[in-house]
Amino acid sequence: MMMRRIRALALIGPLSLLLALLVPATAHADTATFAKTSDWGTGYTAQYTIRNTGATAMSGWTVVVEMPAGTSVGTYWDALMTASGNRYTFTARDYNRTIAPGAETTFGFTVFGSGTPASCTLNGASCGGGTPDPGGPAATPVAANGQLRVCGTRLCNRNGKAIQLRGMSTHGLQWYRQCVTGGSLDALATDWKADVVRLSLYVQEGGYETDPRGFTDLMHTLIDQVSARGMYVIVDWHMLSPGDPTYNLARARTFFTEIAQRHDAKQNVIYEIANEPNGVSWATIKNYAENLIPVIRQHDPDAPILVGTRAWSSLGVSDGATEAEVIADPVDAANIMYTFHFYAASHGADYLAALSRAADRIPVFVSEFGTQNSAGEGANDFTRSQQYLDLMASKKISWVNWNFSDDFRSGAVFTTGTCAAGGPWTGTTRLKEAGAWVRERIRTPDDF
């Protein structure tokens, strides 16, 4: 947080809040139906038919299928495909991404082997429509909760139930891309039982500004990979130096326009539009947010957006201010939350009290925290960290821990060399003390 070199939601207006509480959220029960179109014994061709069963247009789609061992996908058409082990993710092409109410589209592929898909999700929900069976292969955080929204001061699922997400943040993708692999994401989803992954895209410090096309494509790929595992994904615009978010406003418009256009149909995307503003006033941050949020909303009207707060997202506390400045002058936008970051060994009772007070007045999301000092270094303060976690559990404040890498600092969960070796990612044998501590707390799920 403070001076850290390595390592974004206003209250809903009275009328919109009333409507959000009284009108149940609607969700398509769209379907994706599998069929073999030819079979030659050692393989076959297959087709999925995606049907929009809702009353509004479907703008984009993602189908994720799990093939059994010994069966693989070869060529494909009318979709884009990525693969991770036996999991295949198909996304819409430009010409078939929009499906009118009652209409359908198809895509196909060839298969080597005789097995048929063991599981299938469409935009994070069961391909058969409706709610997946509890405990089934699609019973992921996204399948259980669907599209999230801000209700009052809390983050709520599609049924209006306040929930708490728990998960991990990557380190800077320009340095630690090798720690974010199919295997490590599988471990987060199944061994750590994480609900959310924060993808940290630095803007400066060798990040986005050095290769906008390359880093945007990387984010597309990683968003799809996290989505394929049924977790929520935070797209973190990790501006840190300089601390004025308006310095990168033009870049942010370009980046978030493409991200929102490509992933608007997903139910699991959360946008964090300014990691840690610093050295600027709340008025400057607010103005930045009110300029950028409409850019996202033009393409993705439903996703929660996280707004950074003053003084390294400390709600102003690190500059001697309090959460009162945000409460008195909130961002003029709905379905947003304000971020708070803390590092337990540096940020004591005054920070903890500010978080507690703020969470009763405005929607807060802890999008980054550590058990060490504000540089992510030094000894762990697990006692203070647990005080924060207990508070966040009691007030349903979602949190993400920094960081999922093998950096030499104590705040990185893996021992040095783990990522280069390709794991092992599961269990605790390659975890540092902080990694084992936070993994155990992520594994205790919220009551979805």
> Catalytic positions, please?
276, 368
CA distance 407 to 193: 22
Contact 309, 363 (CB under 8 A): no
CA distance 408 to 115: 44
Q: What is the largest CA-CA distance in the chain?
A: 72
- Identify the helix (H) or strand (E) that includes residue 228: helix 212-228
CA distance 30 to 40: 31
CA-nearest of 85, 87, 38 to 62 is 87
- Identify the helix (H) or strand (E) that includes residue 420: helix 418-421
SS3 for 347-405, per residue?
A: CCHHHHHHHHHHHCCCCEEEEEEECCCCCCCCCCCHHHHHHHHHHHHHCCCCEEEEEEC
CA-nearest of 308, 220, 246 to 272 is 308
CA distance 159 to 23: 10
